[in-house]
Amino acid sequence: MERRAELQANLDRVKKRIDDATMAAGRPPGSVSLLPVTKYHPVQDIRILHELGITTVGENREQEARAKHQEFPDMEFHMIGQIQTKKANAVARWAAAVHSVDSVRLAEALDRGVGLALERGDRSVDKLSCFIQLSLDGDTSRGGVPADAVMEVAETLEKASHLMLAGLMCVPPVGWDSLSAFSQAREVLAGVEHHFDRNMEFSAGMSGDLADAIMHGSTIVRVGTEILGSRPIP
């Protein structure tokens, strides 16, 4: 019961931060979703979060996420970490969404992976929601697509049989002002939305910068330690 009370208190605190930032930005209540990040934390914590009303969590590592999904399939799992192309088939089996699509090659591999998972009965949902990870500084070694290559990846996702272009994800580069970073990312997303003539999701903001992200239109904030606490990396 102690852990449940701890997680409840942490969730309440983070949700209030989100609500306050949403109000300060002049946006409608409920326009920003919380995605708790559960990497390195046990399935029992995920079960408790589910009991507390959380229906979706984020994970960074394919093998860890797959094992947790197998143990507790009632929760939806989003992949928010970098994906090697060779891992696309595995991710396609369990992921409800991918926030880190950073190349045409990965998009095509995920599309094939979802098709294969559907054929084998490993997956029941025929579309995988995909976010393009934007690299604001152009350093793709940390994951992400440079702004001038975003549209090519977007077109690939849009045309794929088993993928759905959901929106954009970004993390401000080290040393960048977060307000400036989120402003630039929102401009890139606005271009994609205009091209496809529809509103999309903006996965941006973590514990330290969620208010800045919400100010610039984030619809999904990803929060880990502030909810689940610290856990030594295995």
Question: 38-77, pLDDT tens digit by residue?
Answer: 999 999 999 999 999 999 999 999 999 999 999 999 999 9
Question: 102-131, pLDDT tens digit by residue?
Answer: 999 999 999 999 999 999 999 999 999 999
Residues forming beta bridges with residue 135, ordered by sequence position: 146
Predicted model pTM: 0.96
In which residue are the tokens 């797959």 written?
A: 66
In angstroms, the Cα distances linking 192 to 8, 105, 173, 199 are 37, 19, 21, 9
Predicted local distance difference test score (pLDDT) of residue 232: 57
Average pLDDT rounded to a whole number, residues 14-35: 98
CA–CA gap between residue 20 and residue 24 (Å, rounded): 6
Q: Taking Cα atoms as reference points, which of 135, 165, 164 lies closest to residue 148?
A: 135
**Gyration radius of the chain's alpha carbons:** 17
| Percent above pLDDT 90 for the chain | 94
Question: Given its phi and psi angles, is residue 175 left (phi above 0), alpha (psi -120 to 50 degrees) or beta?
Answer: left
Q: Taking Cα atoms as reference points, which of 163, 26, 16 lies closest to residue 97?
A: 163
The terminus-to-terminus CA distance of the chain in angstroms comes to 25
User: Which of 1.10.20.140, 1.10.1740.10, 3.10.129.10, 3.20.20.10 would CATH assign to domain 58-217?
Assistant: 3.20.20.10
Domain ranges (residues) in the chain: 58-217
3-state secondary structure the chain: CHHHHHHHHHHHHHHHHHHHHHHHCCCCCCCCEEEEECCCCCHHHHHHHHHCCCCEEEECCHHHHHHHHHHCCCCEEEECCCCCHHHHHHHHHHCCEEEEECCHHHHHHHHHHHHHHHHHCCCCCCCEEEEEEEECCCCHHHCCEEHHHHHHHHHHHHHCCCEEEEEEEECCCCCCCHHHHHHHHHHHHHHHHHHHCCCCEEEECCCCCHHHHHHCCCCEEEECHHHHCCCCCC
